[in-house]
Amino acid sequence: MRLAVGSRQSRLAVRQAQIVMEELKKHHPEARISLVTMKTTGDRILDRTLDQIGGKGLFIKELDLALQEGRIDLAVHSLKDMPMEPPEDYPVLACTRREDPRDVLVLRKGLEGLKEDSVIGCSSLRRKLQLGALYPEAQIKNIRGNVLTRLEKLDAGEYDALVLAAAGLIRLGLEERISRFFSVEEILPSAGQGIMAVQGRESLRAAVACTNDREAVLEAAVERAFVRELEGGCSSPVAAHARVLGDTCVLRGLYYDEQSGGYSIGEKSFCIEENDPARAARMGRELAHELRERYAEKL
């Protein structure tokens, strides 16, 4: 068996692809597995925010094309960067075991803490909205680029701190840069944060099953269903975090009202049957509906 695995060129994306490849090699020692990297549109355009240039789908556009043309067999993505509806011909075949899903604060080297007027680098509307409640006096300034590029800008003095995903720093071996972990009650993560998605032809599902994690699949299903129901994308701060514990799932979600600029956060616990993503998705839609209705009643 020969498998060409596609990835973005950033160091984090390559490391994520390598993690998947290592698992594949462990279960398929006879396979010849190669890595193919490419720069995506989202990587090239760094002077505008994602909502201005078309959304997170720009991080996977070139990889989708490579799948269609047969230049790669599989693509590895951060699930949070994938559109809520992947192409039918190239579905998500597996969701890897979830790394820490929380957001973290990274201080500039030599800085011991934040002052009231500190500059925090952050490009996500989801993070900006929730950071406003935690640091009301801070200046939130846009930042684009991969993790290492952002850290370079931070240490060059352009920012006092950054808010990043813990998962990326951990996979890069940069845990020592983390100054503070934000609980999911403080900053609700993006749907799918910490999960890697393996995308490809349906015929390869059995081959990549070794990279699949039951809990990650169920958590991804409920979180992404919540966001889909609210029609949330990269320009919306809709957020969701689910945790599967045995046969129980706890979902926490954020609904944002674009007209008023207000938001509502709620939580829902439910029993979930083993390996039933469809039921998990229904629960995600239910919480989204409840939060939308609850917010409308307040207006």
**pTM over cut 0.85:** yes
Which helix (H) or strand (E) element contains residue 151?
helix 147-153
> How far apart (Å, rounded) are the C-alpha atoms in residues 267 and 93?
28
Sign of CA dihedral 178, 184, 190, 196: positive
What confidence tens digit (pLDDT) does each residue in 197-211 have?
999 999 999 999 999
Fold held by 1-96+195-212: D-Maltodextrin-Binding Protein; domain 2 (3.40.190)
Label the pairing between strands 248-256 and 263-271: antiparallel
Where does the pLDDT of residue 46 fall: very low under 50, low under 70, confident under 90, or very high at 90 and above?
very low
For residue 277, give the 3-state DSSP assignment: helix
Same fold, 1-96+195-212 and 103-181: yes
Fold held by 213-299: Double Stranded RNA Binding Domain (3.30.160)
Report, as an integer, the average pLDDT of 278-295.
90
Whole-number pLDDT of residue 265:
93
Domain at 103-181, CATH from 1.10.3720.10, 3.40.50.10490, 3.80.10.10, 3.40.190.10: 3.40.190.10
> How far apart (Å, rounded) are the C-alpha atoms in residues 278 and 288?
16
Q: Are 237 and 120 in contact (CB under 8 A)?
A: no
Report, as an integer, the average pLDDT of 166-188.
97
Q: Sort 107 into a burial class: Cβ within 10 Å, 0-12 / 13-18 / 19+.
A: buried
Give the max Cα distance, the chain: 62
Domain locations in the chain?
1-96+195-212, 103-181, 213-299
Q: How far apart are the first and last CA of the chain?
A: 59
Please give the angle made by the CA atoms of 109, 114 and 116, to the nearest 5 degrees. 145
What confidence tens digit (pLDDT) does each residue in 64-114 have?
999 999 999 999 999 998 888 877 899 999 999 999 999 999 999 999 899
Report, as an integer, the average pLDDT of 168-181.
97
Q: What type of residue is 283? A: M
Q: Are 216 and 98 in contact (CB under 8 A)?
A: yes
Whole-number pLDDT of residue 97:
97
Cite the active site residues: 81
Residue 53, pLDDT above cutoff 60: no
Where does the pLDDT of residue 48 fall: very low under 50, low under 70, confident under 90, or very high at 90 and above?
very low
